[in-house]
Amino acid sequence: MADTMQFDLVAPERKLASVQAREVRIPGADGDLTAMPGHAPLITGLRPGILTVVSTEGTADYAVTGGFAEISAESVTVLAERAMPKAEMTAAFHAEMVAEARAVKAAAPMDAADSAAKLLADMEALGTHMGL
């Protein structure tokens, strides 16, 4: 088994990463997971959080707000709703994302209120994890 796999991170506005990775730590919708070479095939939704890539070039952290990850034995592809290097995340941008999540929660119908509340909590936690 190879000790690396192809990793690609794409957001609507740009491709953020394309590297050979040893592991990818993913904030999955159903819980955090780590993908490594040889991983069983899986597609998972993302929740707001920090995605960490350990590659031959070092470790890189990205803030993601949603989307999905496709994992196979040879690769991980993440298509994010929004993503940026952790170093580019500002308190003002985080506050804007939290405000958007609050608006979604306020407008959510009763049958979607729990999902909207979780989105808001995850978005607020993202800032806490980043020290914002």
State the pLDDT at residue 67.
Answer: 94
Distance CA(72)–CA(81), nearest Å, equals 21
> Quick check: 68 and 81 in contact, CB under 8 A?
no
- CATH number assigned to the domain with residue range 5-86, chosen from the 4 options 2.60.15.10, 1.20.1740.10, 3.30.110.30, 3.40.109.10: 2.60.15.10
Whole-number mean pLDDT of the chain? 87
Report CA-CA distances (Å) from 103 to 27, 52, 98: 23, 28, 9
pTM of the prediction? 0.78
Longest dimension (CA), the chain: 49
Residue-by-residue DSSP string for 91-105? HHHHHHHHHHHHHHH
> What digits encode the pLDDT tens for the residues 37-47?
999 999 999 98
Mean pLDDT over 80-106 rounds to 81
The pLDDT score that the predictor gives to residue 129 is 67
Listed in sequence order, the residues at least 6 apart from 57 whose beta carbon sits closer than 8 Å to its beta carbon are: 19
Both structure tokens of 62:
């990205």
49: β partners: 64
> What integer pLDDT is reported at residue 14 of this predicted model?
93
CB 59 within 8 A of CB 52: yes
